[in-house]
Structure formats: C-alpha cells, structure tokens
Amino acid sequence: MDDRTPGRRPPPRFPLVAVSVVLGLSLLCVWLLWSGAPLPPSLDSALLRAMRDPADPARLLGPSWVVDTVRDLTALGSGVVTTGLAVVLAGALWLQRSRAAALFVLLLMAGAQVLVNALKLLVERARPDVVPHLAETVTHSFPSGHAMLAASVYPTLAVLLASRSRSRALARYFLVVALLVVLLVGVSRVVLGVHYPSDVLGGWALGGAWALAAWRVFQALGRT
C-alpha cells in the first residue's frame, strides 16, 4: 500500500522471529519461577557493579546529571504513567467509536498490573543488595514491574496507532519509539540498582507474552 493511500492501514503483524523470541524468554521465566535460579549470581551482580564507581558504589559512572535522567526514564514504566497513557488512548478510541479497542487497552493494562503483582507475591525475590539503590522500592524484585508494564503497554499502543496511520514511515516510527522506551525503562531499573538484570529480562518476556496473547485474542474476536 502506498504511504499516501487513504484509509486505515491493516494492523502490523508481529514477525515469527519476534514471537519465537518472546515465547522462548517466557519459558525461561517459567523455569526461573519454579527453580528459583536467576542468571548466574556473579553475572547478575557484575552487571550491577559495572555501572558504579568502584571506590564509591553509591555513585554512578558519568556526570552528575545521569542520575536524574535515569530516574526520569524509569518513570515511563511506572504504573501511574502507563495507566495514564492507556486511559488517554482508550478515551481517544472511544470518541472515535472504536469502543472495542478502547476496552481492549484498558483490560490489557489492568491485566498486566494484576499479573505483575501476583508474580511478585509468588516469587518473593529480594531486591538487589549489591549496590545502594538510587530509587525507592516497596515490592519484591522479580519480575520488574516497570519493565513488564512497559513491554505490555507501549508496543500495544504503538500497534494501535500504527494501524490507524496512513503512512508506513509513521507506523514504523511508532513501533521503533515504543521498543526504544521499553529498552530504556528496563535498563534504567538496573542502572538504579533496584533490579537484577534477570528481573528485567523476566519483565520484558512476560510483558511481551501477555501483550501478544491479548492481541491475538483481540484479533481472533475480529475487533481489529
């Protein structure tokens, strides 16, 4: 279809490779869940220490503004921000008479929040104590809630926006930005010292699997 062709574009399809990767990571997370074996402790801890000053683990490597920047980035995966974005988009879809899509977005967000809280209570993994935390935390460590919510919500919002775009370039732009946000949110949790890398990998995998499953159900119902 030409970029200038009027009308709604068909929703992008997830490549088979991407689906295989997400499912593979999800199986890894299930194994972690039942075996209690995260990444090798030395690797998990080494990645946390790699971003800190060896002489002062409480200080990140780099200029002083890095801490504030990372905290701003990590907020993009918070429950408040992701829920707010979902509600705003759902409202816009509702006003456009895409009521099924609006309900889908809200249910996706609610389901992701319930799932991440249930998994945290089930696994009960303690937060990292390798380096001082640079952000406050009140829940368990696995999976990373920020990473999971970001992986669930941002790609889904991007797909919905892309499916309503008349430009292929704009559709790709939405998807690339969404994946970049997911990456930055996950990395920020490790940089702040509040999650092990395996927590983030688990959050990405489980969030992506939840989004894929919900999207497939949405498509099967003929609501796209």
Q: Please, what is the end-to-end C-alpha distance for the chain in angstroms?
A: 18
- What is the average pLDDT across 34-63? 73
Whether 134 is in a domain gets the answer yes
The bridge status of strand 56-60 relative to strand 52-53 is: antiparallel
Cβ neighbours, 10 Å, residue 45: 17
pLDDT bracket for residue 40 (50, 70, 90): low
pLDDT at 4: 42
pLDDT at 147: 93
Whether 93 is in a domain gets the answer yes
How far apart, in whole angstroms, are the C-alpha atoms of residue 182 and residue 154?
A: 7
**11, pLDDT greater than 50:** no
pLDDT at 28: 59
**68, pLDDT greater than 70:** yes
**32, pLDDT greater than 70:** no
Sign of the alpha-carbon torsion through 49, 37, 202, 136: negative
- What is the average pLDDT across 24-33? 57
**187, pLDDT greater than 80:** yes
Whether 196 is in a domain gets the answer yes
Taking the whole predicted model, whether its pTM rises above 0.85 is answered as no
**25, pLDDT greater than 50:** yes
Domain total of the chain: 1
pLDDT at 76: 94
Q: Which residue has the higher pLDDT, 140 or 13?
A: 140
Residue pLDDT, tens place only, 75-120: 999 999 999 999 998 998 899 888 888 889 999 999 999 989 998 8
Whether 167 is in a domain gets the answer yes
Domain that holds residue 120: 66-220
Whether 106 is in a domain gets the answer yes
pLDDT bracket for residue 224 (50, 70, 90): very low
How far apart, in whole angstroms, are the C-alpha atoms of residue 123 and residue 98?
A: 38
- What is the average pLDDT across 49-70? 84
pLDDT bracket for residue 72 (50, 70, 90): very high
Judged by DSSP in three states, 5 sits in: coil
Whether 108 is in a domain gets the answer yes
Which DSSP letter does residue 51 get? T
The continuous run of DSSP H or E covering 63 comes out as none
Average pLDDT, the chain: 80
Sign of the alpha-carbon torsion through 7, 211, 204, 195: positive
- What is the average pLDDT across 170-182? 89
Whether 79 is in a domain gets the answer yes
Whether 115 is in a domain gets the answer yes
